[in-house]
Amino acid sequence: MTDLRLDAPESPALIAIRHQAGLADEMWRELAPLLAEVGITADTDPTDLPTLQSALDRAVVRYNTALFTPTGRARTEAAVLLRQVASSFAEGETGYAARLLDSLGPQASQEQSATSTSCIGLSLSLLDAWSAPAGGAPAGVLAGTALPAGHWRGERAATDILALARKGRAHRSHQRLIAQHGGRHVMDGAALALAATVQAWAKHTGTPAAEIAEAAIG
């Protein structure tokens, strides 16, 4: 049965690069407008490799940042799911929280509008914000947040995420986190870190976790 709670320590992620038919073409279509902004088009001299590589590197960074910075409807839908995860986690319904996270994919579907990238991005940006004095969270809550006792899906990633968020650097580190832990582990870890922080916030203020989640995750 799917559950966020594990009976034994989580195994390290096996990072594998898989080829997906059409993925390269799709990515190039997404990058083309960003490359065009700096003058790189299909007519650009293909032998000028340093210029092409520099432009491509900048475009990839902008592309990935946009994927992990949801706005508008994408942010709203990610927030709805993360509120449900945090509330379920606080109520001990870790199996339901796991099923919510398992429904996420890199692209929206008819069954699930939120995506793994939007939920990772929103979780990391919220944690960063809560570490700041004007971030809306009570002072010291993030610094005092610890993962609940036991073993959890994404616990290694969550530990790193909390350490980075306390410095306001979790969101900017999303690529490094994924390279180290794998996307699925970062998704679970980001949600776990967010839920644990909501629990710490609730305990600190004497407010139900569901109320904190509803008010603070958005």
Q: Do 90 and 197 sit in the same domain of this protein? A: yes
Total tally of structural domains belonging to the chain: 2
Boundaries of domain holding 147: 71-216
User: For residue 32, how many C-alpha atoms fall within 13 Å in the half-sphere facing its CB?
Assistant: 10
Q: Do 129 and 57 sit in the same domain of this protein? A: no
Q: Do 185 and 120 sit in the same domain of this protein? A: yes
Please say which residue of 13, 42, 67 terminates a domain.
Answer: 67
Percentage of the residues of the chain whose pLDDT score is greater than 70: 76
Angle at 43 between CA 41 and CA 45, to 5 degrees: 100
Place of tokens 């899906």: 153
Instruction: For the chain, give the mean pLDDT.
Output: 85
Q: Do 143 and 109 sit in the same domain of this protein? A: yes
Q: Do 122 and 172 sit in the same domain of this protein? A: yes
Q: Does residue 18 fall inside a structural domain?
A: no
pTM: 0.80
Distance CA 176, CA 170 (A): 10
Query: Range with the lowest mean pLDDT among 44-48, 49-53, 78-82, 92-96?
Result: 44-48
Please say which residue of 33, 67, 101 terminates a domain.
Answer: 67
Q: Do 53 and 149 sit in the same domain of this protein? A: no
Tell me what the mean pLDDT of segment 187-208 comes to. Answer: 97
Distance CA 130, CA 41 (A): 41
Query: Range with the lowest mean pLDDT among 60-64, 75-79, 122-126, 182-186?
Result: 60-64
Q: What are phi and psi of 201, to 5 degrees?
A: -60, -45
Query: Range with the lowest mean pLDDT among 35-39, 127-131, 132-136, 146-150?
Result: 35-39
Q: Does residue 100 fall inside a structural domain?
A: yes
Q: Do 211 and 187 sit in the same domain of this protein? A: yes
Q: Do 114 and 181 sit in the same domain of this protein? A: yes
Q: Does residue 29 fall inside a structural domain?
A: yes
Element at 6 (helix H, strand E): strand 5-6
Structure tokens, 49: 């490799």
Indicate the pLDDT class of residue 56, thresholds 50, 70 and 90: low
Tell me what the mean pLDDT of segment 118-130 comes to. Answer: 97
pLDDT on residue 113: 83
Q: Do 86 and 181 sit in the same domain of this protein? A: yes
Q: Does residue 1 fall inside a structural domain?
A: no
